[in-house]
Amino acid sequence: MPGATQESPVEIAIVGGGVIGLSLAAGLIKQNVKVKIYEQAKSFREIGAGMAFTANAIRCMSLMNPDIASALRSGGSVATSLDKNDPNDYLRWIDGYNKRRKGEPSYQEMLYKLDAGYRGFEGTRRDHFLEALVKVIPQDIVELNKRLDNIEEKGFEGRLQLNFADGTSAKADAVIGCDGIKSRVRELMFGEDNPASYPHYTHKVAYRALVPMDKAIQALGEYKARNQHNHVGPNAHLIHYPVAKQTMINATVFMSDPNEWPDDKVMVAPGTRKDIEAVFADWNPCLTSLIQYFPEKLEKWAVFDTWDYPAPYFNKGSICLAGDAAHASSPHHGAGACCGIEDALCLCTLMIEVNATLRDTSMTKREALSLAFEVFNAVRRTRGQWLVNSSRRVCDFFHQPEWGDESTWIKAETCFEEIKDRYYKILHFDYNAMIQQTIEEYAKRQPVSELVAQRGTNSLATVIPAVVAN
């Protein structure tokens, strides 16, 4: 009945307490949505590896809730480039394999440099950001140690009951799965026998390390250490960028693996520095020196994604998937979390529309939320799955065997025009157009009898002013 919003706010259960789940919760709270987060871990914890966000993703954070962007900065984020003569950030691809100048074994050829704009990428330690983000939301909305078992529809109102492995349950009007690459919500949506319920091995492995800045400078030199660089070569690459207020670098090695991963339920295995040294033995001495500062014992991360069997849809009734739960990508664009933030902004926009619908029409919560999630699927699925595909594509370029043969260097370098176009779609994503499309799609899909003549005052663009490019 009209006026339902004032009587009882929409209640949404977010499954997963990672960066996307917490950011979404912080945004929904601003829209008078009652939120509860269910996290299967006993405490909020992330590995101390780095992550980066584009300037556009950070503006999306600010549109949802300015405190999210503040948490990123307070967590020690820094621009991934540091050049006193140029305030812009750049993505750099550099020859990590060949010794192109006789007598200068440490010389590395700059292959391509892409302007990302002012503070175009900001790098941070994942654990530091999560720690700051937890402080943004009320502590009483979080339930830890809650491993989701199943979801049931209860009662004539269509509310959902989440049943957990510990025997407890909870109810909500809708469920949003932000539970990552091994999403239980996705598995429940598509069924345990459906390959789209699970991620699949990309035949790449990753080794991550945090290296103190003084050690990185010794290995790479001042400029390379303090600025993002992606060192490419045959069947492997190494990317690094500064984090923790320029006190260390986050370095990640990616290597090709022709074998099958032995256990798709466990994506991490013990590794050693010797694994990397064997592959990089003939690479540029700058990189072999840097690798010496990696710990002797490392974790070997299998890179999985949803490329082989993408999700056929992101919504089912009043259940929805967002972030890696919807479109888990390999990390080669460094934009998976950025895409998840875009998802969260779209969902926050839709909750404004849902609240207006419940206030001004006779639609039920289930009807309004199901409609909202249909729109989310229509607006976000193509882009999310494009990122999965594109990340695979650029990694193929980074690992071209042609990098190892001087006669095919020119052929290998032709990839950068395509790489530029792909990164452009990430760096220059039009989030204002997404907001407008979301609002228009929601209005278009409502039953004619329920349309309200004046909807302009309900849009996110009027609730929160648009963030300009700079």
Q: Looking at the annotation, which residues are catalytic?
A: 208, 241
Residue type, 227: N
On whether the CB atoms of residues 424 and 91 are closer than 8 A, the answer is: no
On whether the CB atoms of residues 32 and 9 are closer than 8 A, the answer is: yes
On whether the CB atoms of residues 23 and 136 are closer than 8 A, the answer is: no
C-alpha radius of gyration, the chain, whole number: 23
Q: What are the tokens at 202? A: 């990309």
**Rounded Cα distance, 419 and 426, in Å:** 11
The overall longest dimension of the chain from CA atoms, in Å, is 80
Distances (CA, A) of 33 to 9, 26, 230, 289, 326: 6, 10, 42, 52, 22
Q: What are the tokens at 297? A: 């014992």
Order across the sheet with 174-177: list the strands: 142-143, 34-38, 11-15, 174-177, 319-321, 315-316
Contacts of residue 381, defined as CB under 8 A and 6 or more positions apart, other chains included, come to: 311, 313, 314, 326, 327
Q: What angle (nearest 5°) sits at the alpha carbon of residue 329, between those of residues 260 and 194?
A: 65
Q: What are the tokens at 87? A: 């305030």
3-state secondary structure of 466: coil
Distances (CA, A) of 332 to 90, 305, 341, 380, 430: 16, 11, 17, 20, 22
Contacts of residue 334, defined as CB under 8 A and 6 or more positions apart, other chains included, come to: 51, 52, 121, 239
Q: What are the tokens at 33? A: 């949505």
Contacts of residue 396, defined as CB under 8 A and 6 or more positions apart, other chains included, come to: none
**Rounded Cα distance, 233 and 222, in Å:** 22
